[in-house]
Structure formats: C-alpha cells, structure tokens
Structure 1
C-alpha cells in the first residue's frame, strides 16, 4: 500500500471513506473516555484510601460504569460497522475486478494466469477483512489516544508527560522499520499463494490430459514444490511478525516502567499525591496500547494489503479503446488488410487478411493449424483487436463500437466449449432468461441426447467431447443472434451425429450470417463461400 490507508481504496469504495471518518470520530470519543476512566478510577481509589464513605465514592463508581458501558458500546459499533463495510467494499471490489477482467478480454488478460486471478478474486479480497475489522479502526486510536493521554499526563505530572512524549515516538519508529522489513516478505508470500492457486487451478483443469499422458505425478510434484515455497514464505513472515511484536512490547513495557519507577519514588518522598500518581500510572499503559495494537494488527492486515495491490494492478490494466457509436446489426462484414500480432509473440498471428461476408450467408474458414482461423473469429467477436487494418460492419468500424453492445448480436461456439457445474438445461440457458420450452427446442435442434435435468460436472467433466460441443451449440442457437460464429462445430462427432447436427444447423441458419471454422468436408458443403487462411509466414495475405 502507498500508506496506512491507500487512497485508491477510498476512490474505489465509497463506504470505506465514510467508515474512515467514523473511525476518526470513534477514536476521538474513545480517547476522551480513556482519560475520563483513569480520572474516575484514580479519584475513587484515592478517596477510599483517605477514608471517604460509600456516598462520596458512589458517584465516581456510577460514572465509571457509564464510561465502561460507553467504551463497550463504541467497540461493538465499530466491529459491527467494520463487518458491514468490509463486506460491502469486498463485494464492490470483486464486482469491479470481474467487470474489468471481462472488459479486458482474453488478448490483454493473457498476461495474468487464470488461477491467479481466481485466487485474487476469492481468497485475496477476503483477506481485506482483517484490514477493515481490526487494522483500520486502530489507526485513529493510535493517533488520538497517545496525544490526548500524553497531554493529560503532562498537565498532571510534567516529568511523566515528558517521558511519554520522548518514548511514544519510538514505537511508530520501530513499526516503520518492521513494516519495511515485512512488506517485501508479505508480497513474496502473496505471490507464492497466487502461484499456488494458479498451479492448482491448472492441475484441476487439465487433470484428464495429465493422466492421459502420464504427467500427473510430475505435475503433483510441481504443485508440492510451490506449496512448500508458500509454506516457507508464510513461516518467514510469521517469524518476523513475532519478533516485531516482541520489540514493540519491549519498548512499551520499558517506557511504562520508567514512568512507574519515577512516579513511585516521588510518591514515597511525598512530592506527588496519591491521586496524581494513580492517574499517571493508569494513563501510561493507555498511551502505548493503541500503538502496540496497530503493530499487532498490521501483520494480520498485511496479506490484505498485498492482495489489494494485486487487485489494483489488474484494475490498472488499460482497457481496449473503443468509440461509443451504436452497435450495428450484423450486415455486410468486411475485413480490410487486417493484421494481428499478440503481445509477446515472435511474429504475427494474422497478416494482410481481407475478406467479405455477405449478410445471410455461410462462410467457411479453412487452413492449416496456426494459420489464424480462430483469430478471425476473435476479430468478429471483438475479443481481439487488429494491429493493423479494420473490421467493418455495414461500414461501421468495430473499433468505434462498445464491444459489449456488439456481442449482443453475436453467438459463439468455441473450439473447446466451457460448461459449468449444473444441469444440462442450465448450461444451455446460460446468460439468458429463456423459457423451458425454448431451452428444450434449442437442445433438440443441436441433437443434445441428454436429459435436460442431468447434472454435469465442472467444465462438463462427466460428458464426452461431442456432448459438450452439442450443448454449446444449443446455447448458441438459443441466443437467436444474427451472427453465428462456430469453431469446429462438428469436431468430435461421429458421421451420423455430424449429419444430424449439420442438418439442424442448416435449418437454423436461415437469415443468419454464419462464419464457421472447419476441417470437415460435410461442414464445408453448408457454406456459400470458403476462405482459405494461409499462415502469415507463407504469404502476406490469404487466398481463396
């Protein structure tokens, strides 16, 4: 974080700003109550020692009870608001993070591992709870209570007040030194946790492939190594945290001991009265207590601070620039001398491609693997931005249109469809509010030979590749979008099922513009035109 309170957090989360103001107000009231409590205890004890009766002490005792109740009430109020504010801010940041990730698109998001982003959006943002619940409320107390207590001690006994004034700054000084020592350790620990989450997510996602190629044991060793690295970083951070707590406790204890010895000697010699001595002895620990608690809570909140930095790093990724022109309905689509080079790639994925897709026609894209066929679909889906050239829809450049608005007119079946844990019907209707009859019709059109109430595993783990592809095709047909993008729609299907799916696709394609990538002859028979995409190294463009 840039400081005790990151200003970026206040900009992103308005509830945090209001909560911080409330913490300052509560801290001010608490500081007054701390002094008042010490005054009442010292007065009551001194009177009792000097022989005062219950009537003379009773008022102070009742007032003391009211002060204690007020402090308890303020503590409850702070914790209650901390829990609510923490939940609100985490929900807002999580929503902002997910929205930003979606707007970034796969091209710019490629620099972040999916598992790391998942860890950040779940475990990472949850680590903000200690920051809000314990660390943030202590900050105003650490600033206000020592100042007010020290001032009252200076008035009551200048020598004791001077000791506190000299020693109190030592605590934050040591805290700064400890913070500098632990900040990098905490960051390393958080990065280790992100890597662990990324490795684990990758392992779960590719478990079938790892087992098929006999690499599951090797990858398990890699996950174990990353886990061990995270354990070492965690233990190192905890070691520094315990040592720093010892240092802070030692400084505070020695400082209070100096005050106690000084006031005790002077009390024995009669230069200080009992009530003043009691007041100073009661206030001295209170001057250091908030600072010690800040030091303790800093380590509990450090992981949240590191996660927050990672979240702001993702939120700081610049979004692809686009205009605000209304999205046209898919009509005549034209790619003009388009080139695409992905970030970090050695060469272009697409170079000098020009093609035209007439409305209501079916265009097939063929070519060897790596030629850029899926990149063409990405351009039409507006998830990939051309490095050079333009993508026009009825004369409107897609760069001038908000991607979300354009995608409302597009349905897409990727080469590797993603399904979620749930029923087949829920997967078909994903992202829509379609009625059950519409879902059933789309599933029937896509030849989905599964009960709609069948529960499938995460990523469709319980289905075959062909079944997953048909569910994804049903999802695309249900959208009833005027532009349909299909990446290998009949791959993993046997000849009979392929014929049924393609027949259904031909029936559903009427009036729609369809662009499909395929290597299958039967799918090419559906096409009104075929575009051969040639690898960029082979030619500067593409050939028909």
Structure 2
C-alpha cells in the first residue's frame, strides 16, 4: 500500500490537476502562514514591549514603534484571508477532483472488463468486483479530501518553513531537523500495522459481499431444502467478523494518531524550551522568538495530519490497488492473429486450427487440435464434457490465447454462446445488439430462421431476458448470430450447444437454418453433443484427451 501510487496519475488524469492546483494553492498557503506568523509576532511585540518597561539585552531588537500597529494589523488580516482562501481552495479542488478521479478509474476498470476475456481465471466474483468499484472507490473521498491536501503541504510547506526557520534562527532549525525524522519513522512503523489490519478488513468485506450474493442467488433452492436459517446464521457470523475487524482498524487508527501527536508535541516543546530560555536571558529578540514559536507548530502540523489522514483513507487505497491491477490485466493476444476480412466480392475465408493447444491455469484442456472449416461446410465439434470444445471457440474469438499452434480465419465472425446473454429491452434490440441502425426486416428474418417466427420483435424482456422460456431465449441468441452474419457478411458462423434446450422439431429447423448458411458460402462450426446436429453436419470432429491429438 503506497502513500501515493504513480498509477493513480496514469489512469486518472484528473488526479494530475488536483496535485498541480493543490501545489500552487499549497505554496500560497505556506507563504500566507509565514506572513501571518511574522505579522502576529510583531503585533504582540508592539503591544507587549511598552508594558514591560525597559527590556534587557536583545529583547526589544527589531521591534516596530506603536505607530506602525495599523499597517502590521492590515498585513496580518490580509495574510489570514489568503491562508483561509487557499485552504478552502485546496479542499474544494480535492473534493471535486475525487469525483472526477473516481469516475475515470471506474470507466477505465469497466473498459478493461469489457475488453478482457470473459474466460477470466482470476476467480474474483462479480460481488467482489462490484464492491471494489462501488464502496471501495467511494472510500477515495477520504483520501483526496483529507490525505492529499496534507501530503501536498508536507511536500511544499515543510521544506519551505524549515528554510525560513534556518534563516531566522539556525539553532531552532537544526533542532527541528534533528527531531523531525522521529515522526516519519513512527508513521512507517504504524503504517505496516495499519496495512495488515486494513487488508484483512477489506478481504472480509469482499467475502461478506460474495456470500450475500450467493445466498440471494440460491434463495429459492435454500427455501426448498429448508436451509435458509443456516445461511442467515452464517451471514450474521461474517457480519460480526467484519464489525470486529473494522473496530480493530479504528483502534489502530486512533492509537496511531495519539502517537503522532505525542511525538510532534515533544518535538515542539524541545524547541520552545530553548527559545524561551534565550528570551529570558535576553539573548533573543522578542519579535523573532515569537515568530519562531508561531511558525514551529506549522512545521509539524502537515506531517502529523498526513499520517492521521493516511490511516483514515487506507480502505480507499486498498480498493484502488485492486482496481489498478484490474486495469493492468491486459487481454492476451492470439499467438496467430486471425486474417482480415476479404470483402464481399472476394472468396470467403474458412477457419483453420493447426496443432492448437490451450492452457487453463497452466494445464492443457485438450491434446493438440488440427482441423479446418471450409466455406460452405458444416463441421460439428463433439466430445465429452471438459474436452475443450467451448475453449476452442473462445480461442477463435480471442477470449483465450493458444499456448501452442495457430488459429487462422476471417476477422468477422458471428457467434452464439451456450448462454444467450439477453439484456433488458425489446426482442429486436437483443437480436440487433450492437447495430447502430437496426434493420427490422432482417430482425424478423433472423427470428424466422431461428425457428421462432411467432415471437413479436417488439416484445419487451426483463433483466437477463426474463419473459422468455429457456428454449425461446436460446433461439433469440441464434437469431442474433444469424443477424450479425447477414449484417456484417461474416465468413464464419460459430454456435456453442445451440439446440440443448430445444425439442426435436425445433432442433431440426435450426439444423436446416445452419445448412442454409453453409449453402450460402459460410463456414459453420457448431459445438454439440446432440445426435441430430451431428448427423446434419458434413463432418464431425471428435475431441479427446489422448496424446495423439485431434486431426480432421
């Protein structure tokens, strides 16, 4: 967990503006602090010196006459206004920047998820992703509103104030330089402890989110088997564990704040004692001594507050680290890129697998596969479950990359997966998904070819395609693939178990539609274990796990 991750500036451009504007405002605020401390010291000196009579030694050295009280008071007021305005500006810039940064990080993460393979191997559930992109990134508000302004002040104000102290009183400045590193050392030590407890709390929150989603998803099954009470008890236990870990984080945060304040107080007291001793002995001007004492706390305030603010924003930092990892998880390119589309007037391109082997979690899912799908041909891919049939289609689509071998084919491919993946909206919108200018006639033709002509294209579906039976949803998915093939003049049509939920008569109609596509010049590759589909194909490629591989 880094106090400032460079990836934040890389993936959220708004963060650069926050730090740039914050730097300028921080510099103005620091200058205002210096002027305010000087003016206040002079005001006190002007008022106090006449009260103590004739001071001894250097106490009255450099003091202004009483007649200068008003213009010094004016300078103090101007400095105070500038300091307040700069502080307000830093808070405003940080708060608005947090909104833009969260939006940009969410957008980049969602783009990464959209561009990445749906065949994710990171084993992260949707609930964990939602927690990171929702609650997790929202926790960056505390990071930007509390931590970032203090970090900027620490980087700008602290060196500048120490330099001013060095010019005003070298003895005090050297003392500050000696004792100042104590606070960062405590911050580092406390930071390690905070990181450990925060990581455990964040992991528990994600586990709680995933468990709750699992219970909601399987609630009907739990009710049938009368197991809902047990799951309620489990959720209650995990909620209590999360509460306990949250209290641990808060306890460490409060203790860390106390330690940092204690270290800063001791450091300030050490310098104040030396200044006070010299003032009493008449070895130091009163105005300069007051200036040093007023400026001294401002040296330690940013570093003390940055530590406290850092501990308060660790949840957002933990979530942002996961988001950065999600963004950086690039989609793996195919070892052999698929060739470009030859165009409607040119001869169609088929699909070819040359000794293709795909790994999952470092293990091959099948033996090396070699076969081709020529234009005008229907090829069925068969084999036992887990033999790698769907994985080969994922390799064609670019969802996974072959560990060895080559996949070659056209750029435009129409595809229908095992799950139709329907969205809320009309049937026509689902069939023409991704088409900026849907063709209503082509939608109706696709539904008819998919053996569902009776379905009105204007029928509205609920979330996940609610409102259709499993067989109807499957045929809408087939219609979508056909629509894309016709609309984009795709050379190859891929279908994964397209008839698993269909009756024999409907299945025969779908097989006739696939044959019609092949007769039109397209290559058709269909994964299926259904006998009617295998019998309607020109060739059947049987996948096995034997070392000899598959050749067809």
TM-score bucket of the superposed structures, by smaller chain? 0.7 to 0.9
Separation in structure 1 between the aligned mates of residue 527 and residue 403 of structure 2, nearest angstrom: 22
CA contact (8 A) 1:104 1:319 kept: yes
Separation in structure 1 between the aligned mates of residue 496 and residue 229 of structure 2, nearest angstrom: 33
Alignment pair present for 1:486 and 2:495: yes
Matches within 5 A, 1:331-410: 331-345=349-363, 348-393=364-409, 406=411, 409-410=412-413
CA contact (8 A) 2:339 2:409 kept: no
The secondary structure found in structure 1 opposite 2:381 is strand
Alignment pair present for 1:470 and 2:505: no
Separation in structure 2 between the aligned mates of residue 18 and residue 420 of structure 1, nearest angstrom: 38
Name structure 2 gaps, 5 residues minimum: 51-63, 343-347
Matches within 5 A, 1:128-207: 128-157=140-169, 160-205=172-217
Aligned to 2:58: none
1:540 to 539, 542, 548: 548
Matches within 5 A, 1:75-474: 75-107=87-119, 109-157=121-169, 160-205=172-217, 223-260=235-272, 263=275, 267=279, 272-317=284-329, 319-322=331-334, 327-328=340-341, 331-345=349-363, 348-393=364-409, 406=411, 409-435=412-438, 437=440, 440-441=443-444, 442-443=446-447, 445-446=449-450, 447=452, 449=455, 452=458, 454-457=460-463, 459-460=464-465, 463-474=468-479
CA contact (8 A) 1:135 1:298 kept: yes
Pairwise CA distance, 1:80: 3.6
Query: Could you give the per-residue CA deviations for residues 155-178 of structure 1, whole angstroms, max 9, x where no partner exists?
Result: 545554454333332222211111
The secondary structure found in structure 1 opposite 2:544 is coil
The secondary structure found in structure 2 opposite 1:276 is helix
In the superposition, the TM-score normalised over structure 1's length comes to 0.82
Name structure 1 gaps, 5 residues minimum: 395-405
CA contact (8 A) 1:248 1:295 kept: yes
Separation in structure 2 between the aligned mates of residue 505 and residue 452 of structure 1, nearest angstrom: 25
Pairwise CA distance, 1:410: 1.9
Query: Could you give the per-residue CA deviations for residues 23-67 of structure 1, whole angstroms, max 9, x where no partner exists?
Result: 333333322211111111222233244579997433233323322
> CA 1:263/1:534 → structure 2, altered by over 3 Å: closer, same or farther?
closer
> CA 1:445/1:235 → structure 2, altered by over 3 Å: closer, same or farther?
farther
Pairwise CA distance, 1:289: 1.2
Separation in structure 1 between the aligned mates of residue 428 and residue 228 of structure 2, nearest angstrom: 33
CA contact (8 A) 1:456 1:463 kept: no
Aligned to 2:86: 74
Query: Could you give the per-residue CA deviations for residues 459-505 of structure 1, whole angstroms, max 9, x where no partner exists?
Result: 33554322332332333233234322222222223455545655666
In the superposition, the TM-score normalised over structure 2's length comes to 0.81
> CA 1:80/1:163 → structure 2, altered by over 3 Å: closer, same or farther?
same
CA contact (8 A) 2:208 2:239 kept: yes
Pairwise CA distance, 1:262: 5.1
Pairwise CA distance, 1:242: 0.8
> CA 1:193/1:318 → structure 2, altered by over 3 Å: closer, same or farther?
same
CA contact (8 A) 2:443 2:483 kept: no
> CA 1:84/1:476 → structure 2, altered by over 3 Å: closer, same or farther?
farther
Pairwise CA distance, 1:414: 1.6
CA contact (8 A) 1:338 1:353 kept: yes
The secondary structure found in structure 1 opposite 2:313 is helix
Task: After superposing the two structures, state which structure 1 stretch, 212-221 or 34-43, moved more.
Answer: 212-221
CA contact (8 A) 2:253 2:312 kept: no
Separation in structure 1 between the aligned mates of residue 271 and residue 538 of structure 2, nearest angstrom: 92
User: Greater Rg, structure 1 or structure 2?
Assistant: 2
Query: Could you give the per-residue CA deviations for residues 414-434 of structure 1, whole angstroms, max 9, x where no partner exists?
Result: 212323444544443433323
The secondary structure found in structure 2 opposite 1:350 is coil
Task: After superposing the two structures, state which structure 1 stretch, 473-482 or 223-232, moved more.
Answer: 223-232
